[in-house]
Amino acid sequence: MTAHPSIKHSSWAMMVLLFIPTVWNCCCVLVVHGKRSPSQNCDSISIPIHHHRAHLHKTSSSSKPSSPYATRAAYNLLFNIRGGDIQQITSLSQVKEIIENASNTNQLVVLDFTSNNCPPCEMIAPIYSDLSELEEFESKVIFLKVNVSDHPDVASYYGVDGWPTFQLFRNELLVDSIVGGQAAKAGLYPLVARHAQ
């Protein structure tokens, strides 16, 4: 590995390359330890840091937020929801709260009902993951997943008895759904794209 051209190898500095795993994948950070050389200004060191996904949160400062939260990013931070994430559901009350709050920010909610030992669920999982990472859905869609083996009350509440099932909610109302791995493979993207507008 070679150092950045603006950093000279000397005894006063030690470079450490850290990989920090976060929920946004890995970020690459360069840390310089040691004393500052009088002949070198550390402020002049310019090292680009590239994120796997540079489009984490964008908010518009020109328009007044339509939610009780200052910005959509603040809402996402508060509820631990970021573009590209599939939030794992742990309770019925959590689902209800997310669906209710998403109506305040005019976001679509996609809820994936999955189960243990379900080959169609396993087949569609990477497709659902890729769908959640599409830039066109950033800040427009919240992607959720609930394992009905662990939380049968959530499936019962929403009337789901086959998996995988994907339900789409807007303004706290169920607006569409799709059942089955093959059906979701072919039809989930157009369904989400239509309702995300």
| Alpha-carbon span 191 to 197, nearest angstrom | 11
Q: Which residues pair with 111 in a beta bridge?
A: 144, 167
Sign of CA dihedral 159, 163, 137, 28: positive
3-class SS of residue 44: helix
- Calculate the alpha carbon distances from 82 to 12, 24, 47, 125 in Å: 40, 9, 26, 18
| DSSP class of 147 | E
Report strand pairing: 108-114 vs 141-147: parallel
Asked if 42 is an active-site residue, the reply is no
3-class SS of residue 50: coil
Q: Which residues pair with 179 in a beta bridge?
A: 165
| Alpha-carbon span 121 to 90, nearest angstrom | 18
Angle at 174 between CA 168 and CA 179, to 5 degrees: 55
Catalytic-role residue among 27, 28, 42, 121: 121
Question: Would you name the residues annotated as active-site residues?
Answer: 118, 121
